[in-house]
């Protein structure tokens, strides 16, 4: 009985074994390959990379496999790996203006230089279950073949829309507005190194770059809900999707000992620039302000949510009324990280015998005393 | 296990954490922010304590890990196995043989000695958090020793229940200066912290704070002259070792609600049982 209450080593070993079985499923099925996950679950891989704060599709896919599709668990796995890595160099600032664009839209302007490029998107799909995917394997015999066929098929359509093949070096939509002074100019004047939330503890209040870092690794669901709340009046910011672009950006480093720049590869990014209203003051003419979101991979929803919240958190800069959760830096940033929140919620499963015993003892004592008092009252009344 | 450094953390990170620890020891009870790392266990499961232990542990150390006072609770087993794996060091259950004890929610019944280190796992390091949720506010309150609200909270308890209704994580004043959360240990254990010969280190991983109580430091539980601090007492004694002075867990043994009381400190209990046989 005693042993049963206190659990122990054997129980843990048995639980791990059960989990391994659960993850693998029926042995009649072939195990899922990492390649399949990377190729056929790309959005899951992207989410794990951005919230895991590590751009590594291979390891993100591994984490998804190991976590049996539990993405929050996969994010945790990747984060716990990332934290052990040596940081040998800061990259040069990414130039998203030179992005090789796969998708690029503006909801603020009907047409923009370079055109609107839909690219791969769930937008405008009808959310009808495609029952033909139920037995896709049987239909084609080989997955790879059919995918390639589809890819070839879509290409002429994009040509019809008059889109050039080399979709890079598109200037940002908001650049022209900046020139006119209609929107705040946001060229960073910051010369010192950025605060790095993975190397230094966040201490409130924090600057915008710190906020953006924390939002970038924040839980998508949490950010989405908060962003949504600003649209429903809890810290309104009057947003327009000025530009959303997704594509590949070159990653450049300049090692101190070499003194020249080296391109070490490219990463896929989703960037969102919101245009928000600002009334202006006596000194400052009314102009538009910005909210910014950036995420690894195809993570448009995440980038948009982030941009909404970034702008909401800038309320103080513009002397805006302060009364909503999304405007509250401490509230938002302290609760955005899924690794932190999942950890603390799940710790309730750990034993709390001692604390509970302490409360039990106290409640019994108070109840006993109240009973005694009540009895004494009855007696004295009689 | 060659993929990871000794004690999991890289040496640079350990150095950063040790610097925070030195600051914490220099200002007893003050919460030092530190760049907490993600650990391979979830936040809330002892990552703060694990990082502190990982930063101070050496090849010659001997480690004991307890949760709820016991060495054989699942999380204690898991953390002990983690350090065995990443350090290859000796572990023990014997309180008087160990150099480092990592604990969750208890202080061992056996008195600790000079030279030992007690590492606490801390969920919420800020004792004022449930009175004032904002870090920016509580930081100022600590700086100005603006602690009236804490006494007020305790007073309101007395007015309402006739007792202070905090049974664990009972606030203390350290070295006559900072109000400190002793982590969720039962208030039964608070007196053990006072002038303890061992070094007490506190790690809060998710909240990224470290604090400390150096050996032989005053640790006083908050109270009022007419409502002095008191600790839990039981009418029962331990069903296994017969102890009348240890913290007892209450165990329901059957469907009729028959109860049994046992020492929460399993090593203390087993040692007493062994000695009497």
For residue B72, list chain A residues with Cβ-Cβ distance below 8 A: 6-9
Q: Which of A175, A199, A179 minimizes the C-alpha distance to A95?
A: A175
The more confident residue out of A87 and B185 is B185
**What's the rounded Cα separation, in Å, for the pair A303 and A200?**
24
**Residue B213 φ then ψ, to 5°:** -125, 110
Which of B14, B104, B96 is closest to B65 using CA atoms?
B104
Residues 87-106 in B contacting A (C-alpha not used; CB under 8 Å): 104-106
Residue range B22-76, pLDDT digits in tens: 999 999 999 999 999 989 988 989 999 999 999 999 999 999 999 999 998 888 9
- Is-cis flag, bond preceding B240, omega within 30? no
Q: pLDDT (tens digit, 9 = 90+) per residue, A210-251?
A: 999 999 999 999 999 999 999 888 888 889 899 999 999 999
Retrieve residue B141's tokens.
């309150």
pLDDT at res. A211: 95
Which among B74, B169, B186 has CB closest to A11? Answer: B74
Query: Residue A273 — φ and ψ, nearest 5°?
Result: -115, 115
Please identify which of the residues B203, B238, B242, B274 carries the catalytic annotation.
B238
Cα B245 to Cα A352, A365, B187, B194: the distances in Å are 21, 19, 14, 18
Phi and psi torsions of B263, nearest 5°:
-60, 135
- Note the pLDDT tens digit of each residue in B216-230: 999 999 999 999 999
DSSP state of A315: G
Whether A133 has its CB under 8 Å from any CB of chain B: the answer is: no
Residue B258 has, within 13 A of its CA and on its CB side, a CA count of 5
Taking the Cβ of residue B43 and every Cβ of chain A, the question of whether any pair is shorter than 8 Å is answered with yes
Q: Can you spell out the DSSP letters for B190-246?
A: HHHHTT-SSEEEEEETTTTEEEEE-TT--EEE--BTTB-------SS--TTT--SSS
Name which residue leads in pLDDT, A279 or B93.
B93
pTM comes to: 0.83
Q: What is the mean pLDDT of chain A?
A: 86
Measure A337 CA to nearest chain B CA, in Å.
10
Closest chain A residue by Cα to residue B72: A8
Mutation site for B-interface testing, chosen from A358, A369, A376 by largest number of B Cβ within 10 Å: A358
A-contacting residues in B 4-33 (Cβ below 8 Å): 4-5, 8-10, 33
Q: What SS3 class is residue B254?
A: coil
Active site residue B87: no
pLDDT in tens, B240-261: 999 999 999 988 888 887 888 9
Q: What are the C-alpha distances in Å from A199 to residues A93, B35, B46?
A: 19, 6, 20
Distance of alpha carbon B55 from alpha carbon B15, whole angstroms = 7
pLDDT of residue A139: 67
Torsion of CA B15, B18, B22, B24, to 10 degrees: 130
Question: Are B69 and B106 a contacting pair, CB within 8 Å?
Answer: yes
Which residues have C-beta within 8 Å of that of residue A263, sequence separation ≥ 6? Answer: A250, A251, A252
CA atoms of A188 and A182, how far apart (whole Å): 18
pLDDT of A107 over the 50 cut: yes
* Local structure of residue B33 (DSSP, 8 states): E
At residue B1, the pLDDT reads 41
Q: Is B8 helix (H, G, I), strand (E, B) or coil?
A: strand
Beta bridge partners of B213: B200
Contact B74 A7 (CB under 8 A): yes
Phi and psi torsions of A229, nearest 5°: -60, -30
Query: Running DSSP on this structure, what letter comes out for residue A92?
Result: P
pLDDT in tens, A268-314: 999 999 999 877 777 777 888 999 999 999 999 999 999 999 999 99
Q: Among B77, B135, B240, select the one facing A8 at the smallest CB separation.
A: B77
Q: Note whether B74 contacts A198, CB cutoff 8 Å.
A: no
The fraction of chain A above a pLDDT of 70, given in percent, is 88
pLDDT computed for residue A167 by the predictor: 58
Of A9, A354, A366, the CB nearest to B105: A354
- At residue A112 the predicted structure's pLDDT band, cuts being 50, 70 and 90, is confident
Q: Are B225 and B252 in contact (CB under 8 A)?
A: no
Q: Supply the pLDDT for residue B219.
A: 98
Task: Pick the most confident of A23-32, A194-203, A313-322, A350-359.
Answer: A23-32
CB proximity A369 to B under 8 Å: yes
Q: Is the confidence at residue A153, as pLDDT, over 70? A: no
β-strand partners of A248: A100, A268
Rounded CA gap, B206 and B125, in Å? 10
Q: How far apart are the CA of B198 and the nearest CA of chain A, in angstroms?
A: 23
Q: What is the pLDDT of residue A285?
A: 78
Summarize the confidence of residues B171-194 as an average pLDDT: 97
Torsion angle (degrees, nearest 10) of CA A131, A132, A135, A138: 170
User: Do the strands B178-180 and B117-121 form a parallel or antiparallel pair, or are they unpaired?
Assistant: unpaired
Give the list of residues 6+ apart from residue A368 with CB closer than 8 angstroms, or none.
Answer: none
B179 CA to chain A: closest CA distance, Å? 20
Whether the predicted pLDDT of A156 surpasses 60: no
pLDDT given at position A382: 75
The mean of the pLDDT values for chain B is 94
Report the chain A residue with the minimal C-alpha distance to residue B81.
A9
A202 touches chain B (CB under 8 A): yes
What beta strand segments (E) does chain B contain? Answer: 32-33, 62-67, 90-91, 100-104, 117-121, 172-174, 178-180, 199-204, 209-213, 219-221, 248-252, 259-263
How is A327-377 classified by DSSP, letter by letter? Answer: G-HHHHHHH--HHHHHHHHHGGGS--HHHHHHHHHHHHHHHHHHHHHHHHH
ipTM of the complex: 0.74
CA separation for the pair B198, B130 (Å, rounded): 30
Confidence at residue A113, expressed as pLDDT on a 0 to 100 scale: 79
Q: Supply φ then ψ for residue B62, to 5 degrees.
A: -125, 130
Alpha carbon B193 to chain centroid, angstroms: 10
User: Across residues A59-63, what is the average pLDDT?
Assistant: 98
pLDDT of A149 higher than 80: no
Say whether residue B40 is in contact with chain A using an 8 A CB cutoff. yes
Q: Is the pLDDT of residue A158 over 70?
A: no
What's the confidence (pLDDT) of residue A188? 60
Q: Is the pLDDT of residue A117 over 60?
A: yes
Do strands B209-213 and B199-204 pair parallel, antiparallel, or not at all (unpaired)? Answer: antiparallel
HSE toward the beta carbon, residue A280, CA cutoff 13 A: 11
């Amino acid at each position: 009985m005693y042993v049963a209450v206190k659990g122990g080593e054997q129980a843990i070993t048995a639980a791990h074994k059960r989990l391994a079985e659960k993850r693998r499923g029926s042995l009649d099925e072939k195990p899922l390959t990492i390649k399949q996950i990377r190729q056929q679950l790309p959005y899951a891989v992207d989410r794990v990379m951005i919230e895991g704060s590590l751009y590594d599709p291979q390891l993100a896919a591994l984490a998804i496999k190991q976590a049996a599709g539990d993405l929050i668990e996969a994010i945790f796995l990747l984060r716990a790996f990332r934290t052990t890595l040596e940081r040998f160099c800061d990259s040069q600032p990414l130039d998203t203006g030179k992005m090789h664009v796969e998708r690029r839209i503006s909801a603020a302007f009907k047409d923009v230089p370079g055109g609107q490029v839909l690219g791969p998107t769930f937008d405008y799909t009808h959310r009808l279950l495609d029952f033909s995917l139920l037995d896709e394997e049987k239909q084609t015999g080989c997955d790879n073949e059919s995918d390639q066929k589809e890819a070839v098929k879509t290409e002429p359509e994009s040509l019809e829309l008059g889109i050039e093949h080399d979709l890079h070096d598109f200037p940002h939509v908001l650049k022209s507005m900046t020139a006119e002074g209609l929107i705040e100019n946001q060229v960073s004047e910051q010369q010192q190194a950025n605060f790095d939330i993975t190397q230094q503890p966040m201490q409130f209040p924090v600057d915008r770059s710190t906020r953006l870092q924390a939002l970038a690794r924040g839980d998508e669901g949490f950010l989405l809900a908060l962003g949504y709340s600003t649209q429903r009046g809890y810290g309104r910011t009057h947003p327009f999707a000025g530009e959303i672009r997704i594509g590949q950006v070159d990653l450049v480093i300049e090692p101190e000992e070499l003194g020249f720049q080296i391109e070490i590869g490219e990463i896929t990014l989703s960037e969102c620039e919101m245009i928000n209203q600002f009334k202006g003051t006596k000194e400052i003419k009314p102009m538009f302000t910005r909210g910014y979101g950036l995420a690894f991979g195809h993570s448009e929803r995440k980038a948009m949510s982030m941009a909404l919240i970034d702008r909401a958190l800038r309320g103080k800069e513009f002397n805006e009324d302060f009364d909503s959760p999304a405007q509250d830096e401490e509230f938002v940033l302290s609760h955005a990280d899924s690794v932190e929140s999942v950890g603390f919620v799940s710790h309730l499963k750990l034993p709390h015998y001692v604390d509970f015993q302490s409360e039990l003892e106290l409640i019994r004592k108070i109840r006993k005393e109240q009973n005694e008092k009540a009895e004494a009252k009855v007696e004295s009344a009689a | 296990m060659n993929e990871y450094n000794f004690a999991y953390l890289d040496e640079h990170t350990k150095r950063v954490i040790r610097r925070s620890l030195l600051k914490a020891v220099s200002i007893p009870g003050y919460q030092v922010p530190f760049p907490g790392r993600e650990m391979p266990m979830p936040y809330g499961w002892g990552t703060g304590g694990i990082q502190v232990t990982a930063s101070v542990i050496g090849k010659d150390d001997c480690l004991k890990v307890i949760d709820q006072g016991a060495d054989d609770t699942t999380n204690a087993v898991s953390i002990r196995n983690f350090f065995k794996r990443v350090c290859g060091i000796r572990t023990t259950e014997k309180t008087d043989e160990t150099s480092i004890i990592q604990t969750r929610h208890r202080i061992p019944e056996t008195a600790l000695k000079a030279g030992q280190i007690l590492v606490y796992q801390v969920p919420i390091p800020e004792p004022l958090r449930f009175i004032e949720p904002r870090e920016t506010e509580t930081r100022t309150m600590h700086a100005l020793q603006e602690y009236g609200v804490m006494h007020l909270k305790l007073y309101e308890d007395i007015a309402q229940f006739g007792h202070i209704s905090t049974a664990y994580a009972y606030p203390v004043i350290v070295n006559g200066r900072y109000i400190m959360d002793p982590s969720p240990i039962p208030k039964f254990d608070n007196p053990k912290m006072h002038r303890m010969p061992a070094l007490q280190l506190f790690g809060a991983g998710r909240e990224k704070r470290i604090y400390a109580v150096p050996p032989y430091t005053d640790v006083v539980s908050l109270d009022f002259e007419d409502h002095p601090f008191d600790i839990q007492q039981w009418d029962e004694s331990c069903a296994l070792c017969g102890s009348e002075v240890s913290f007892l867990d209450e165990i329901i043994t059957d469907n009729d609600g028959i109860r049994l009381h046992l020492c929460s400190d399993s090593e203390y209990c087993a040692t007493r049982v062994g000695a009497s046989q």
